[in-house]
Amino acid sequence: MLKVRLQGTKKDIRWYMKALHRDSRYEVDYVSDFQSCKGSGKFHRIYINLYRKDKQNALNCRKE
């Protein structure tokens, strides 16, 4: 599992989250609410928990 912080505009974060949900290799377990970045009304951040779905395939890649 990875704990990931995504930071950018709300539009860019939504775009990236949509791409993660479409990718069958990953599973997003937790998504926080948007939080404002200090000093900027334009940029926000969220936190997610990200898992790999196919662990066997990941082990095979590591051996190569």
pLDDT per position as a tens digit, 28-49: 999 999 999 988 789 999 999 9
Predicted structure pTM score: 0.77
Mapped onto helix, strand or coil, the DSSP state of residue 30 is strand
How does DSSP classify residue 42?
S
Q: What percent of the chain has pLDDT over 90?
A: 73
What distance lies between CA 46 and its chain's CA centroid?
9
Distance CA 12, CA 16 (A): 6
Whole-number CA gyration radius for the chain: 14
| pLDDT at residue 60 greater than cutoff 70 | no
Place of tokens 């940029």: 43
Residue 13 burial (CB count, 10 A): 19
